[in-house]
Amino acid sequence: MTDVIILTGAGKGIGKAIAIEFASRAKNDPGFNPSLVLCSRSPEDLDALAAQCRSAKIQTLSVVADIARREDRERLVEQTLLEFGTIDCLINNAGVGRFKNLTEFSEEDFDYTMSVNTKGTFFLTQKVFPVLEKKRSGHIFFITSIAAETAFKSSAVYSMSKFAQKGLIESLRLYGRECNVKITNVMPGAVCTPMWGEAGETLRNVMMMPEDVAGPVVDAYLQPARTSVEEIVLRPVGGDINE
């Protein structure tokens, strides 16, 4: 039996680390057989990651898709069902962040952030949830952020999008509890990934690494059927970076 796992934003950063962590756990546990559906907008990232997973004998399906686009979300779910016949897990990891002073945000910044983090995540979840609800099992993760609960001056729009994700999670959990579907909110503080651009290199020594998030995500997925890890909060040992 295989576990069919859709992972958005798989090409870089935290998403890539989660894929590699699933592959490494499967390599060490013959009873765990994940099939990873890798999604992002950059085919070259997915090709490289799929090759890495295949070398660990993990089955993958790469779907180049922009979760902000309805037809791409539909194609992602349809291709998954066509290839594997079911879905066991959705990891809503794809996300974008633009960090500026309040008065500098353009309407384009706002629309871009909301279309991926809020709208894209909502409608992809809405499309996948009925598959899990019908089979009365499954798991949906959201990689939100500590910015889903804590405000930072440069992250007004990002925080809005992440607070909104938290609203969705809390509503969805009420549905999930009725049909045995686990909902996990993963809230990391600063993680050294391409999202930070050049600032990431300067701040590297006060950040977590993507694998520090990936490990707890896979641990939560592998809990016994009776147990749901509802929230994971991870921070750099020195606390939040005040950006």
Ligand X SMILES: NC(=O)c1ccc[n+]([C@@H]2O[C@H](COP(=O)([O-])OP(=O)(O)OC[C@H]3O[C@@H](n4cnc5c(N)ncnc54)[C@H](OP(=O)(O)O)[C@@H]3O)[C@@H](O)[C@H]2O)c1
- The answer to the question of residue 19 lying near ligand X (CB under 6 A) is no
Could you say whether residue 66 binds ligand X (CB under 6 A)?
A: yes
Region of 187 (left: φ > 0; alpha: ψ -120 to 50; beta: rest) is beta
Q: How far is CA 41 from CA 8, 21, 61, 203, in A?
A: 10, 21, 14, 27
Among 4, 6, 9, 88, binds ligand X (CB under 6 A): 9
Q: Residue 93, interface with ligand X (CB under 6 A)?
A: yes
Is residue 239 a contact point for ligand X (CB under 6 A)? no
Largest separation between any pair of C-alpha atoms in the chain: 54
Which one, 162 or 182, has the nearer CB to ligand X? 162
Q: Is 195 in the site for ligand X (CB under 6 A)?
A: yes
Name the region of 21 (left: φ>0; alpha: ψ -120 to 50; beta: rest): alpha
- Among residues 3, 4, 6, 8, the one that binds ligand X under rule CB under 6 A: 8
* Cβ-based nearer residue to ligand X, 65 or 131: 65
Rg value, the chain, Cα: 17
Q: Which is nearer to ligand X, 108 or 227 (CB)?
A: 108
CA–CA separation, 102 vs 96, rounded Å? 17
Give the DSSP H or E segment for 185: strand 181-188
Among 34, 97, 138, 176, binds ligand X (CB under 6 A): 97
Closest by CA to 14, choosing from 4, 22, 25, 26, is 22
Task: Please identify, among the stretches 41-49, 127-135, 166-174, 177-185, the one whose residues bind ligand X according to the rule CB under 6 A.
Answer: 41-49
Site for ligand X in 114-143 (CB under 6 A): 116, 120, 143
User: What ranges in 90-209 are assigned the alpha helix state H?
Assistant: 107-113, 121-135, 156-178, 199-203
Q: Is 188 in the site for ligand X (CB under 6 A)?
A: yes
Q: Which of 56, 81, 96, 206 is the binder for ligand X (CB under 6 A)?
A: 96
14 binds ligand X (CB under 6 A): yes
Based on CB atoms, which residue is closest to ligand X, 41 or 75?
A: 41
Of residues 28 and 198, the one with the C-beta less far from ligand X: 198
What is the rounded distance in angstroms from the CA atom of residue 62 to the CA atom of residue 221?
A: 21
Binding site for ligand X (CB under 6 A): 8-9, 11-15, 39-42, 45, 66-68, 93-97, 116, 120, 143, 145, 188, 190-191, 193-195
